[in-house]
Amino acid sequence: MKRRRGAGGRGSLGPVGLVLAGGLSVQFGGALAVTLMPKAGALGVVSIRLAVAALVMMAVCRPSVRGYTRADWGTVLAFGTAMAGMNALFYQSVDRIPLGPAVTLEVLGPLALSVLASRRLINVLWALLALAGVFLLGGSGFGGLDLAGVAFALGAGACWAAYILFSAGTGRRFPQADGLALALVVAAVLVLPFGVADAGSALLDPVTLALGAGVALLSSVLPYTLELIALRRLPASTFAVMMSLEPAIASLAGFLILSQALTAVQAVAIALVIGASFGAVRTQVGRRPKPAKGEPVASGGA
């Protein structure tokens, strides 16, 4: 009779919905970014994306720069550096190899993090199941790939793992999305010189800037904000396993939007990845101990 949980019960699935919404936003933003690369180059697109995202977030959040410790600022700098590396390396990758294999290779970073960060055997098993699905999904598409593109994708995956850790730490140290706004400034400053060298005057083209703004909103502002909020309530190990949904979302988007048919093997791979992500979340929700009053719900992370 007393099993009614009200908002708390519904809230337990809140982080999951945030992660899924962020993944969908990233895929649409990525598709738009690909159309921009012939005009502005990979690093030029990244520069516009991060610069616009930083301006939007700074205007919305207006974060204070006072009252923070050296450790707080160190976390923001590390978060921004990981964000810059993740974006720059991934866009360099998709400039050389197809989007599907690039996403599949990149997601190995979060999967490795889920194995290293988890202290329970069941979470390791969920991560291995997701890894099997990721390899199955990309198994027919990795042959003959440009080695530089593969290396960039793997490097982006390593930065993605660091992004998860420092995003969680930033969310705990800064209110709302203030830390994210500051980290985006760091990322934009780090990447902008390379973008200017790569794209030159193309960065000033009004159409390119408008499309770049759309990429920034879809691929940076919206998903990063949703993920920052999710990581306040979701452990880094579980979040990392859920990132294995990215190749599946990309494949489904290709099927629904681009009419790219899925093979039986790809359908099985997607089912494995989704099943692993669902299992990881259900395990965490079902076994998570009640936090003490005032204790942050999220665990893991730096």
Tell me whether residue 219 is in a domain.
Answer: yes
Tell me whether residue 2 is in a domain.
Answer: no
**Overall average pLDDT of the 116-124 stretch:** 74
Tell me whether residue 112 is in a domain.
Answer: yes
pLDDT of 297 over the 50 cut = no
Mean pLDDT of the chain: 77
Model confidence at 77, in pLDDT bands (50, 70, 90)?
A: very high
pLDDT tens digits, 10-44: 444 477 788 888 888 887 777 777 777 888 888 98
Q: Quick one: what percent of the chain has pLDDT higher than 90? A: 14
pLDDT tens digits, 139-151: 655 666 788 888 9
Range of the domain at 34: 18-61+68-287
Q: What is the 3-state secondary structure (H, E, C) of the chain?
A: CCCCCCHHHHHCCHHHHHHHHHHHHHHHHHHHHHHHHHHHHHHHHHHHHHHHHHHHHHHHHCCCCCCCCHHHHHHHHHHHHHHHHHHHHHHHHHCCCCHHHHHHHHCHHHHHHHHHHCCCHHHHHHHHHHHHHHHHHHCCCCCCCCHHHHHHHHHHHHHHHHHHHHHHHHHHHCCCCHHHHHHHHHHHHHHHHHHHHHHHHHHHCHHHHHHHHHHHHHHHHHHHHHHHHHCCCCCHHHHHHHCCHHHHHHHHHHHHHCCCCCCHHHHHHHHHHHHHHHHHHHHHHHHCCCCCCCCCCCCCCC
Tell me whether residue 4 is in a domain.
Answer: no
Q: What is the pLDDT of residue 298?
A: 33
Number of domains in the chain: 1
Greatest mean pLDDT among 77-81, 249-253, 263-267 lies in 77-81
Tell me whether residue 300 is in a domain.
Answer: no
